[in-house]
Amino acid sequence: MANDSKKFVLQILCPDRSGLIAAFTQGIAQTGANILDLTQHTAEDINTFFLRALVECEIDAVPKIKEHFSKMENEKSMEWQLHDAEHKTKLALFGSTTDHCFYELLLSHRDGALPCEWTCIISNHTVLEPLARAFNLPFFLVPSYIPRPEQDKKFNEILQASQTEGIVLARYMQILSKEFTETWKYKIINIHHGFLPAFKGAKPYHQAWAKGVKIIGATAHFATADLDQGPIIWQSVQQVADTGSIEQFIQIGKEVEKRTLLYALKLWLEHRVFLHGERTFVL
């Protein structure tokens, strides 16, 4: 490919039928694009075909790709998207008082492991302000006591001004409104401990320890109006010993949360997450 070539991620979702892979790969080839990586999956229980392809092409071939697959939409009853693989998605970090997930994400980004750009840190406390300064990020305080509509207004003003494209809730301990989650539908990624719904409320690790659990887990998911019920992106678990203390449980829990959120965010940024209704498929 020439120096003016670019890489794109093509996502396709459609009813399954024979000949799909051949049709799509031939379509890519006809536009002059080169396939660098391709993953496909058929969910037989819902008769749905998924495809993710990393392609490289000349800049002037992009309109050809879009035109080609637009013509196939009705014929294949397909949904498709073409993403610039080199685009750094602009993300805002929401947090409260804990910082373990923040450090994991910020340090991973600094090391080049996350293809994104942090726009700001938004919090309902001032605890994370020094962290924002340390990483040269704007910090915005939106207290919890402000009425919900006013909170939403402030959130959206900040996010719009910073051209934010997505949100990561890094242990943000405040329920978001239905209106806000609808505005940012499937663009908010949240992390929570994997004991829900068995151990709801305060001190879930204390509750889990008291019940003698054998594993600790965490779930990264899209935030929706239903608390912790959004489509799941990734989950991780860690075996724990009965001889462990509550303090050890909490520390292990933090480690699981960090790696689960980081991996889920990377999957989303790389356009590996497909949504079919409220169900996710990761390719």
Domain ranges of the chain: 5-84, 89-282
| Residue 197, preceding peptide bond in cis (omega within 30° of 0) | yes
pTM for the structure as a whole = 0.93
What pLDDT sits at residue 193? 82
Token pair of 186 as six digits: 């499937």
pLDDT tens-digit map of 20-57:
999 999 989 988 899 999 999 999 999 999 999 999 99
Q: 273, 233 in Cβ contact below 8 A? A: yes
Per-residue pLDDT of the chain (283 residues), as tens digits, is 556 889 999 999 999 999 999 999 998 998 889 999 999 999 999 999 999 999 999 988 899 999 999 999 999 999 999 999 999 999 999 999 999 999 999 999 999 999 999 999 999 999 999 999 999 999 999 999 999 999 999 999 999 999 999 999 999 999 999 999 999 999 999 998 876 556 777 888 888 888 888 888 999 999 988 777 889 999 999 998 889 898 998 899 999 999 999 999 999 999 999 999 989 999 9
256-281 per-residue burial string, b: 16 or more CB within 10 A, e: under 16: bbbbbbbebbbbbbbbbbbeeeeebb
Q: CB burial class (10 A; 0-12, 13-18, 19+) of residue 45?
A: exposed
How many residues appear in the chain? 283
Give φ, ψ of 173 to 5 degrees.
Answer: -95, 60
d(CA 194, CA 201): 13
pLDDT tens-digit map of 60-96:
889 999 999 999 999 999 999 999 999 999 999 999 9
Instruction: Look at domain 89-282 and name its CATH class.
Output: alpha beta
| 99 annotated active-site | no
The catalytic residue among 16, 152, 226, 228 is 228
What pLDDT sits at residue 3? 62
CATH superfamily of 5-84: ACT domain (3.30.70.260)
d(CA 163, CA 141): 18
